[in-house]
Amino acid sequence: MVRVLVVEDSPVVREFLLHILGSDPDIEVVGTAETGEEALEAVERIRPDVITMDVHMPKMNGFDTTRRIMETRPTPIVIVSGTLDVAETASVFRALEAGALAVLPRPSGIGHPEHQRSAADFVQTVKLMSEVKVVRRWPRLRPGVTLPVASLSAKIQPRTTQTESRLIAIGASTGGPPVLRMILSALPKDFPFPVLIVQHIAAGFTQGFVEWLAQSSNLPVQLPVHGQPVVPGWVYVAPDGFHMTVAIDGRIWLNTDEPENGLRPSVSCLFRSVAKAYGRRAIGVLLTGMGKDGALELKSMKELGAVTIAQDKETSVVHGMPGEAISLGGATHVLPPEKISILLTSLAGRVSSQPGRETVRA
């Protein structure tokens, strides 16, 4: 039985969520809270398996409440947003930085054509997130206090003679957004490779995710259009509901083929196309996430001579995808996020005469 705490200040929405969650025999709603302060008290008293968290609440909002919970009583948290406005969804990702596992739209109302599907997706995600073993987030440092950086400054020497990299493909799922933000923010403005990303995320939040990434990235971030040529130093995020692939002429192709591993966009689909188009000139990165999407294809990239990287277990929220790639022998390097950035920058620095920001071709 999954024990759920519902945090929501609107009585109407709260009852709606209770109805949806209560319809599943494997879920027990063990408590509700109308404010962040009530949520903190309830977490200590009830010890739920998972929390659904409202964003806008009086006094302590959902972001600060999430952060406090992750600092004091780590618990899987799913953010529930009532709007898909781009500016609003971009701000929701602050909660993922604070330690929330996922962000979901509020299910469609009873009578809406999408009610059954959206309610089922909501319940399934809550149940899945309850299984994640979260860890404590330490309180934010006071202004002016910094951590030692000696462990991050050492150069990571690639265990390969590869010098022909031309494109980076990254796949991520649960826990991926903050890791992607960390990696991209550490890449320099003159980074010479295009970066293609598949991030598993609820439909409707991808544009907000792009805006959120762009706020801290030195590189421009965008949703691509079908047939668009990739450009060095640009970041492309797969759109909602489309597989993203890259062709041998360096153009992005989007399609609505059947989901792979139950997902569209799929990391496997992206990695397979990159392996075919770029071979040893590619770099593949598989980050935290449930399941095995992209794992076998990362191994295929490695077998063709590409540099392949998997996130380490210690820093992964869920080590499913990268762990599967490692067990298959598909990772050239197993690293934490900050060292992934260092390695990518190092590989970029080894390209002798990278042209300016023009279309990259395999």
Q: How confident is the model at residue 94 (pLDDT cuts 50, 70, 90)?
A: confident
346 included as an active-site residue: no
- Residue 354: what pLDDT? 42
Residues 339, 314: contact at Cβ < 8 Å? no
pLDDT 10s digits, 233-264: 999 999 999 999 999 999 999 999 999 999 99
151, two tokens: 């462990």
Catalytic one of 81, 118, 165, 173:
173
Quick check: 219 pLDDT over 60?
Answer: yes
Mean pLDDT of the chain: 89
200 included as an active-site residue: yes
Q: How confident is the model at residue 82 (pLDDT cuts 50, 70, 90)?
A: confident
pLDDT 10s digits, 324-352: 999 999 999 999 999 999 999 999 986 53
With a pLDDT cut of 70, the percent of the chain lying above it is 88
Catalytic one of 9, 81, 118, 200:
200
Quick check: 138 pLDDT over 80?
Answer: no
Quick check: 161 pLDDT over 60?
Answer: no
Quote the CA–CA distance of 73 and 54 in Å, as a whole number.
18
pLDDT 10s digits, 208-217: 999 999 999 9
353 included as an active-site residue: no
Quote the CA–CA distance of 179 and 288 in Å, as a whole number.
8
| Nearest partner of 265 among 213, 209, 206, judged by Cα | 206
pLDDT 10s digits, 6-30: 999 999 999 999 999 999 999 999 9
Average pLDDT over residues 122-136: 90
Least confident piece of the model among 35-39, 87-91, 156-160, 175-179: 156-160
- This prediction has a pTM of 0.88
- Residue 164: what pLDDT? 67
Catalytic one of 293, 300, 316, 319:
293
pLDDT 10s digits, 53-63: 998 898 899 99
Q: How confident is the model at residue 77 (pLDDT cuts 50, 70, 90)?
A: very high
Q: How confident is the model at residue 267 (pLDDT cuts 50, 70, 90)?
A: very high
- Residue 307: what pLDDT? 96
Q: What is the 3-state secondary structure (H, E, C) of the chain?
A: CEEEEEECCCHHHHHHHHHHHHCCCCEEEEEEECCHHHHHHHHHHHCCCEEEECCCCCCCCHHHHHHHHHHHCCCCEEEEECCCCHHHHHHHHHHHHHCCCEEEECCCCCCCCCHHHHHHHHHHHHHHHCCCCCCCCCCCCCCCCCCCCHHHHCCCCCCCCCCCCCEEEEEECCCHHHHHHHHHHCCCCCCCCCEEEEECCCCCCHHHHHHHHHHHCCCCEECCCCCCECCCCCEEECCCCCEEEECCCCEEEEECCCCECCECCCHHHHHHHHHHHHHHHEEEEECCCCCCCCHHHHHHHHHCCCEEEEECCCCCCCCHHHHHHHHCCCCCEEECHHHHHHHHHHHHHCCCCCCCCCCCCC
